[in-house]
Chain A
Amino acid sequence: MLEKAIFLLFAVPTVVAGVAILLSKNIVRMAFWLIAMLIAVGGLYFLMGAYFLGVIQIMVYVGGVAVLLVFGVMLTSRQLAPKLRPGPMETVWLAAVSMALLLGLVLSVAQVRWVQGPIASPNSPAEIGHSVMGDFLGPFELASVLLLVAMLGAAYLARPKVPVQSPEGSKETTI
């Protein structure tokens, strides 16, 4: 009972956040809704006993990725009112495709006969460490190389070097 209540406490905000992002017009609000969703998913991890994962979710996603996203939004949102809302036909198509996907997935999920395995007990970070350094050593090394490449690529891409072209004409300035 309590578990269900806590599940709803975290599950409802995730869905509400998604719907709010779909309907909202303000980009910064969208970014903050995303943060609400990330924290709620972190709470769900806690509920499932994956404490390490929940804490990492909040630390990396909320403290890092989301802050970067908000930063990017702040840097780019002062602009000439971009078209953020889909047109009427697009809305119809969007609703149709989303509903079809939702129905298909929910029906297929409902068809499955779930076999309840043994509930894994809440685990310590040490076990996850053993798992990462044991069975998942290859992916772990790959992920570290990926992070290095991503860091280098981002640093290379983000350096200011290009003459800016304003949207109206060909007037060029350098930053």
Chain B
Amino acid sequence: MMGPMPYVILSVLLLVLGLAIVISKRNAIVMLIGVEFILNAAALNLVAFSRHGAGDLSGQTAALFVIVIASAEAVVALAIFLNFYHRIATVDIDRGDQLRG
């Protein structure tokens, strides 16, 4: 029987990978992909602790909320990026340096 350790290590890996993706990529949508990695790392941790530590369902419920919030975030972010793309015809976030609309 495995403890929570492998899951936590995997979650750390996912977190670092997600952060690296967010840092290194310029494309806004790919940064969103990195954010999804980070959120999944958090949810994985929550479920692992819910199973091995607490023994009740609060971790799973919290992971459910993570999924809800991630989907809402993805939708709004994509809408923003499409707007961004409509205005300056690129999704390179370095070009979004004007406050003027």
Q: Which residues of A contact B (CB under 8 A)?
A: 3-4, 7, 11, 14-15, 18-19, 21-22, 27, 30-31, 34, 37-38, 41, 44-45, 48-50, 52-53, 56-57, 60-61, 64-65, 68-69, 71-73, 75-76, 79-80, 82-86, 90-91, 94, 97-98, 101-102, 105-106, 109, 114-120, 123, 127-128, 131-132, 135-136, 139-140, 143, 146-147, 150-151, 153-155, 157-158, 160, 162, 164-167, 175
Known: A44-B44, A118-B55, A136-B62. 11 other contacts (CB 8 A): A15-B17, A18-B18, A21-B34, A27-B30, A31-B33, A52-B60, A68-B78, A98-B23, A153-B76, A158-B79, A165-B88
**Contact present for A86 and B24 (CB under 8 Å):** yes
In the bound assembly, the distance between CA atoms of A98 and B21 in angstroms comes to 10
Picked from B20, B47, B68, B72, the residue with its CB within 8 Å of the CB of A98 is: B20
Known: A41-B40, A49-B51, A68-B78. A128 touches B57 (CB 8 A): yes
B16's partner among A86, A105, A118 (CB-CB below 8 A) is A105
Given A4-B2, A65-B36, A120-B55; A48-B87 close (CB under 8 Å):
no
The answer to whether residues A72 and B78 also contact, given A114-B5, A123-B57 and a CB cut-off of 8 A, is: yes
Contact A18 B87 (CB under 8 A): no
Task: Tell me what chain B mostly uses at the interface: helix, strand, loop, or mixed.
Answer: helix
- Looking at the complex, which one of A38, A48, A140 makes contact with B40 (CB distance below 8 Å)? A38
Sample (14) of A-B pairs whose CB atoms are under 8 Å apart? A7-B2, A18-B37, A52-B60, A65-B36, A69-B33, A72-B29, A80-B90, A82-B91, A105-B16, A119-B1, A132-B64, A150-B76, A154-B75, A167-B90
